[in-house]
């Protein structure tokens, strides 16, 4: 078996407003844990590693969870370098977080390398009784930016793997994107990283 370090590495950035649920989604996907609403906001950037197999080929995912607060925006911009994909997250129970997504798309499209795959996620679908953003609105926004979309619940695990599996699937179908990133620095050194369990996708 190849070591994790020898696997093809994909860099995926998670962005969106503070409190949108980015960290909860990452922790549920990588560690299958869920922290309550008392979870503290990410400071700067968090970093996790996850193995994922797509169509029988294993990949090493470098997953970066960036802070949504304005004071960390300049810091987060540098993390776009070499990113194959960007997952944009908003909270379906917070109208303001959804309305801010155009600005986040603009940032991602300006900073990510050409051809980087975007994926829109509406989080906290377990709060459907307090929903302020319709599913159709999320679909429309995603279509406007030419990307895939799904809603997830880190609390109930619903659809948690879906955005990661689908964004990786889209990335590996684009040889030009993989080749372009290999000429850049695809290695990320961030303190506080942890390894997740291996995953499998078809």
Grade residue 35 by pLDDT with cuts at 50, 70 and 90: confident
Grade residue 155 by pLDDT with cuts at 50, 70 and 90: very high
Residues in Cβ contact with 69 at an 8 Å cutoff, skipping those fewer than 6 apart: 18, 41
Write down the domain spans for the chain.
4-189
Residues in Cβ contact with 60 at an 8 Å cutoff, skipping those fewer than 6 apart: 4, 5, 7, 8, 9, 10, 49, 50, 51
Residues in Cβ contact with 144 at an 8 Å cutoff, skipping those fewer than 6 apart: none
First to last CA, the chain: 20
pLDDT at 182: 60
Judge whether residue 41 has pLDDT over 80.
no
Q: Do the Cβ atoms of 43 and 117 come closer than 8 Å?
A: no
pLDDT at 190: 34
Q: Strands 45-54 and 57-66: what pairing?
A: antiparallel
CATH architecture of 4-189: 3-Layer(aba) Sandwich (3.40)
Structure tokens at 138: 């999320």
Q: Which residue has the tokens 């801010």?
A: 100
pLDDT at 73: 56
**Average pLDDT score over the chain:** 82
Residues in Cβ contact with 140 at an 8 Å cutoff, skipping those fewer than 6 apart: none
pTM: 0.83
**Number of H helices and number of E strands within the chain?**
7, 8
Q: Which among 47, 27, 14, 20 has a CA at the least distance from the CA of 157?
A: 27
């Amino acid at each position: 078996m190849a070591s994790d370090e020898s696997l093809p590495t994909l860099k995926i950035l998670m962005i969106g407003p503070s409190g949108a649920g980015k960290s909860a989604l990452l922790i549920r996907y990588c560690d299958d844990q869920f922290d309550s609403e008392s979870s503290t906001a990410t400071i700067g950037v968090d970093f996790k590693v996850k193995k994922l197999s797509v169509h029988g080929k294993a990949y090493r995912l470098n997953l970066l969870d960036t802070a949504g607060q304005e004071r960390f925006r300049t810091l987060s911009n540098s993390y776009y370098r070499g990113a194959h994909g960007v997952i944009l997250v908003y909270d379906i129970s917070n109208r303001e977080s959804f309305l801010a997504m155009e600005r986040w798309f603009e940032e991602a499209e300006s900073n990510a390398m050409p051809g980087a795959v975007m994926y829109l996620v509406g989080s906290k679908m377990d709060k459907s009784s307090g929903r302020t953003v319709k599913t159709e609105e999320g679909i429309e926004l995603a279509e406007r930016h030419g990307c895939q979309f799904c809603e997830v619940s880190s609390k109930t695990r619903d659809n948690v793997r879906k955005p990661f599996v689908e964004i990786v699937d889209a990335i590996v179908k684009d040889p030009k994107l993989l080749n372009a990133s290999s000429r850049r620095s695809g290695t990320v050194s961030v303190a506080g990283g942890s390894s997740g369990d291996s995953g499998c996708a078809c």
